[in-house]
Structure 1
Amino acid sequence: MSKLRHLAAAAALALAVLPAGPAEAAAPPVGSATRYTMTAFTNSSESNMYVYDSPDATGYRLVKSSAYTPPSGLIRDPSIIRHTDGRYYLTYTTNWSGNTIGFATSTDRVNWTFLGNHTIPLAGLQRTWAPEWHVDTDGSVNVIVSLSTSASGADFLPYRLTATDSALTSWSSPTPLAGITGNHIDTFVVRTGSTYHAITKNETTKYLEHATATSLGGPYTFTGTDNWAGWGNWVEGPALVQLDNGGWRIYYDGYSAHKYYYSDSYDGLNTWTAPTELPGLSGFARHFTVLKETVPGGAALPVNTNRSLRSVNYPSRYVSSDGSLAAVTASSSSAGRQAATFTVLPGLADPNCHSLRAADGRYLRHRDFKLRLGTDDGSAVFRGDSTFCPRPGSAAGSVSLESYNYPGRYLRHYDYQLSLDVYQDSDTFRADSSFQGVTPWS
């Protein structure tokens, strides 16, 4: 992609990252929540796996450090799925050289049991790196793994293994993904519609490249090379997961900068938002995958009711329709009390999220990352700007409101003004972005 085309694509994403169309539920319904589970090795250890989870794919909190240590070897590049038997399964790199990948299983994502190492039957195999799960639409369970038969590791190619039993203990012979040639590692494959997308590292140029096919085995055709996505080079370890709003998020390791990034796409993995450093874990967590599940629980405001949104850390102040965190008391003017009162409605962009309507019929929306009232013009941009998805807040019973069309940004007060800020891994940010839905002032 040319520099001009990339800048134009980035500008388009900045204006409206979501496609037009009617409101469709993607977030889980009330009483349930999305949970993103990350399994990672770290800068401090290649032999211990850490487990994190997140409600929003941005702010990850530690579930357990050193959650799994294999009986021997390493646990680099751990990849996680949940199988049809209800159990969680890992596959991982067992060593810098050799011909095996490792497997482990768990019932709770925290306590893991070693299943064994699988020897890959490929003549002359020298290196076996970065196995990644891919469950295909036909139900087949596959592992995409990078294999090299060269002592120098200069001929890595992605191969496909397919489970031949439901226990995931028996595997087919390795088959190369046709069309991906020329020393590629860390290949991660997802499917959108009828198209398979492979994001893979060109080990020669150090860029992540994009190839597509109509079947998992290929043949793949490269559609993005060099700096096509704006991620730069000397990057590796891509992992993709779908967000609640239908977009795709990629995480990748900027290993030369010792930082970890994420970036989002809303047009079939063709153009991407500017890279953002992963809060809290950048520079610590390494090459991981993220599993998305719907689980019981979650946070929500009662819909079709009037509520005032009280700040958790400034309980005398409330979200106001003028874009401020206003001080409101019983002696405040009628206009001030009315400005701090909203009708909580099903989200205009996703009915499982929320939109907040003021007394005059306008909606609280963001624009230039500032909060203000706006009139519904029926556009996809307005629906996205005025929809916020509830996440658990910092205090019991509180919610944080994540932007629907800018995942990772939250309604947050600073200096008593409301804005849409990128999540920060700090107690201050979590408190600043947490609100209690209380009895309305008006």
Structure 2
Amino acid sequence: MKGQSMRTARLLALLLAVITCVAGTPVASAAPAVRYTNPIAERRADPHIFRHTDGFYYLTATVPEYDRIVLRRAATIQGLATAQETVIWRKHTSGEMAAHIWAPEIHFINGKWYVYFAAGRSDDVWRIRMYVLESSSANPVTGSWTERGRITTPWDTFSLDASTFVHNGVRYLTWAQQEPGIATNSNVYLARMGANPWTITGTVTRLTVPTLAWETRGFKVAEGPAVLQRNGKVFLTYSASATDANYCLGMLTASAAADLLNPASWTKSPDPVFASNTATGQYGPGHNSFTTDGASDVLVYHDRNYRDISGDPLNDPNRRTRVQKVYYRSDGTPDFGIPVPDGPTPVRLKAYNATSFVRHWEYRARLDTDVSPLADSQFKVITGLAGSGTVSLESTNFPGYYLRHRNNELWVERTDSSTLFRNDASFTQRAGLAASSAVSFESLNFPGTYVRNNGGLLFLQAVTDAQGRADATFTLE
């Protein structure tokens, strides 16, 4: 049972939703959610998806053999799942760049393509350093690549996971490295880039050191930095702890107006912002990147669909590339929620005439704003339990629980596999009664009645007027 303070906050949010609904004024809605089917790629870790101006998406990732760099190209993110994969570079037979080819990232800078990656030596596979490839070809999948060599940092130590971004007209490099005198496996750093995309210049700033319990399970790790710039802020996510089920994401936040090279500009999240989830069967989510589908920001990451690993996690090949939509709280900060179940990604049902979302609260379905946890308001739209031609709405954080009507009230309940439950939890998805671009849900076993918001709670009711049509209309976001 949640604490009294949280209950009070929920009631206040519900009251706001009721007031907004009574006003009855349609609220501008975000573009409909693009839905994906996970995983995007089996046995592909440390994924990086880059959306280019040529209209294509490019996927690079670590292969479990650690011996080559692969690249996929597709017109959509989902298309990357079936896109042909091309080897654009192979490890050296000896010397530098001859072992542990890790975490490639592809970027387009000043009219050329660059791939950042980490590699060890044949005589010391753990002498990991950062390197760069360059291609001037229009299509990097078919083009030739030139080795531009190693990225030099202040210390000749274990370093990896280079990533680059531009902020206020300045290009930066962020990476992970083991710093002499600090007893950690790696910390996260930031510096400006110099005359070319493989050279840093000026001050090197240590952004974060793993010290918290969730950053130091198995190993003291902060690695895999990735940057998201939105809503007047710069968010830098990073991966922490060992690469098993303990792996998770932390986040640093800075104002877009701040000096990013000043460590004081950044605030660390006290808890992981993305972590393993037993209910959805996803373990060790991490080493993420960000892309966009044109309507929304998309979180790209890897995980496994099992917890227990035999031996060294680095020798387990089954990390998979996955994606899911990034949502934002009212304060502009990202809410990554939980790693969603395999299969179709879930959506949120946003009220057409309110800034509220359908969520479950102690299993009752209602509307709420700024839902926490996010997954309380995420539902997987699947083929109806009663059969084709209908849909059912499955809870994301309670798989096997579905939105169903009971005594004309909407609840989220676990299926008992009875015919009655299957019918109660199956709906015909219609064009929105108040807006054809939205949706409405008509009951299967009570035709003519719809899922409807009434006073902030959801009921199964007939619709007879404009207010009712608005109350029974939702956008899928």
TM-score of the superposed pair, with normalisation by structure 2 = 0.50
Q: Which has the higher contact order (CA 8 A, sep 6+)?
A: 1
* 1:148/1:358 CA distance change after superposition, 3 Å: closer
Amino acid at match of 1:102: Y
Secondary structure at the counterpart of residue 39 of structure 1 = strand
**Distance (Å, rounded) in 2 between the aligned partners of 1:193 and 1:50:** 34
* 2:422 equivalent in structure 1: none
CA RMSD of aligned residues (A): 4.7
* Residues 1:252 and 2:302 aligned together: yes
User: Residue 113 of structure 1: which of 141, 145, 164 is its match?
Assistant: 145
Secondary structure at the counterpart of residue 172 of structure 1 = strand
Q: CA deviation at 1:77?
A: 0.4
- 2:225 and 2:238 in contact (8 A); partners too: yes
* 2:109 equivalent in structure 1: 83
Q: CA deviation at 1:146?
A: 0.5
* 1:47 equivalent in structure 2: 67
Residues 182-221 of structure 1 correspond to what in structure 2 (within 5 A)? Answer: 182=211, 183-203=221-241, 206-214=247-255, 215=258, 216-217=260-261, 218-219=263-264, 220-221=266-267
* 1:285 equivalent in structure 2: none
**Distance (Å, rounded) in 2 between the aligned partners of 1:164 and 1:382:** 53
- 1:187 and 1:201 in contact (8 A); partners too: yes
**Distance (Å, rounded) in 2 between the aligned partners of 1:249 and 1:368:** 33
Amino acid at match of 1:161: A
Gaps of 5+ in 1: 13-19, 280-322, 326-355, 386-404, 406-442
Q: CA deviation at 1:104?
A: 1.0
Identity %: 9
* Residues 1:22 and 2:18 aligned together: no
- 2:431 and 2:440 in contact (8 A); partners too: no
* 1:211/1:90 CA distance change after superposition, 3 Å: same
Amino acid at match of 1:197: F
**Distance (Å, rounded) in 2 between the aligned partners of 1:112 and 1:230:** 38
Residues 30-179 of structure 1 correspond to what in structure 2 (within 5 A)? Answer: 34-43=55-64, 45-60=65-80, 61-71=82-92, 72-74=97-99, 75-85=101-111, 87-95=112-120, 97-98=126-127, 100-106=129-135, 107=137, 108-110=139-141, 111-123=143-155, 125-136=156-167, 138-149=168-179, 154-165=184-195, 167-172=196-201, 175-179=204-208
Deviations along 1:207-261, one digit per CA (max 9) or x if unpaired, are: 32122122433432222524x4353464431222233222432323349753423
For this pair of structures, how many residues does the alignment match? 294
Deviations along 1:163-182, one digit per CA (max 9) or x if unpaired, are: 212x4243225623434543
Residues 244-393 of structure 1 correspond to what in structure 2 (within 5 A)? Answer: 244-254=294-304, 257=307, 258-260=318-320, 261-267=322-328, 268-272=333-337, 274-277=339-342, 324=389, 365=439, 367=441, 382=473, 384-385=475-476
Secondary structure at the counterpart of residue 94 of structure 1 = strand
* 1:133/1:379 CA distance change after superposition, 3 Å: farther
Deviations along 1:93-123, one digit per CA (max 9) or x if unpaired, are: 1225336311112221212412322242323
- 1:52 and 1:62 in contact (8 A); partners too: yes
* 2:268 equivalent in structure 1: 222
* 2:287 equivalent in structure 1: 237
**Distance (Å, rounded) in 2 between the aligned partners of 1:33 and 1:26:** 23
* 1:134/1:362 CA distance change after superposition, 3 Å: closer
Q: CA deviation at 1:48?
A: 1.3
Amino acid at match of 2:268: F
Residues 416-435 of structure 1 correspond to what in structure 2 (within 5 A)? Answer: none
Secondary structure at the counterpart of residue 229 of structure 1 = coil
- 2:157 and 2:178 in contact (8 A); partners too: yes
* 1:26/1:383 CA distance change after superposition, 3 Å: closer
**Distance (Å, rounded) in 2 between the aligned partners of 1:360 and 1:126:** 61
**Distance (Å, rounded) in 2 between the aligned partners of 1:211 and 1:381:** 40
Amino acid at match of 1:365: V
Amino acid at match of 2:110: T
**Distance (Å, rounded) in 2 between the aligned partners of 1:99 and 1:259:** 21
